[in-house]
Amino acid sequence: MLYGLFDGMSPSNFFNFSFLPKYLSFFVQGVEYTLLLSVVSVAMAVLPALLLALMRLSKWKPVKWLSGAYIAVFRSTPLMVQLYIIYYGLFSVIKIQPYTIFGFIDISRFIPGVVALALNSSAYVAEIFRAGILAVDAGQMEAARSLGLSKFQGMKLIVLPQAIKNILPALANELVTMVKESSICSILGMAELIWGAKTVATTTYKTLSPYVLAAFIYFLINFPASKGIEAIERRMRRGDRA
């Protein structure tokens, strides 16, 4: 049954990049789109995630339940489904007129993609924030209250700065993850890296090498970033021991 399944999958098909002189711009713009989509999405996820984390730590049960329900829903359902619901549901009501920025980014697709990715990411970043806050010694808040600070001031001035220091590597890892997850936005026709590879593959009938090149580009972005994050983590641990 499997006979012939891998016919034509020779090394020349994997590494035939003869399309590059003509279609290089698809990959360059794809990288730019992917990075912009990832950075904006994670940046937009930070404040909602912090709010969700504080709600999770609240002693008021309805607030705690609401935050937990949001996190459970977005962490337990596929990102693709969330993207479809937001694009075809929410943004069928909120109309965004097609408008191109930077020459290749259509905001009528970019904004729904950012919203979907940010809402999904905020559920994960919220747990990162919550773990970072819980990692701060409870005595820090008690010391702040003994100095006359309110609970809000203690959280803002004492606990959160220490928590943010703890979560920075995890937050950077979320950005690396988002670079990969943003590829799902290609299903909506966003001109990110996978969309560029798919377009080139369809146009040139080279069904493997454009995706091999896209995978290599993702590796060139994420592997050095991951190593940089590990170096920062080691430096922070040395600083803590000192």
d(CA 102, CA 28): 13
Residue with tokens 């560029």: 196
Tens of pLDDT along 77-114? 999 999 999 999 999 898 888 878 777 788 889 999 99
Identify the band that residue 233 occupies on the pLDDT scale cut at 50, 70 and 90.
confident
Task: Identify which has the larger pLDDT, 114 or 232.
Answer: 114
* Encoded amino acid at 144, one letter: A
Question: What CATH class does 23-241 carry?
Answer: mainly alpha
**Tokens representing 171?**
């937050």
Overall average pLDDT of the 186-192 stretch: 88
Q: What ranges do the domains of the chain cover?
A: 23-241
d(CA 65, CA 205): 51
Task: Output the pTM of the full model.
Answer: 0.84
d(CA 25, CA 43): 27
Residue of 200, 181, 198 whose CA lies nearest to 189? 198
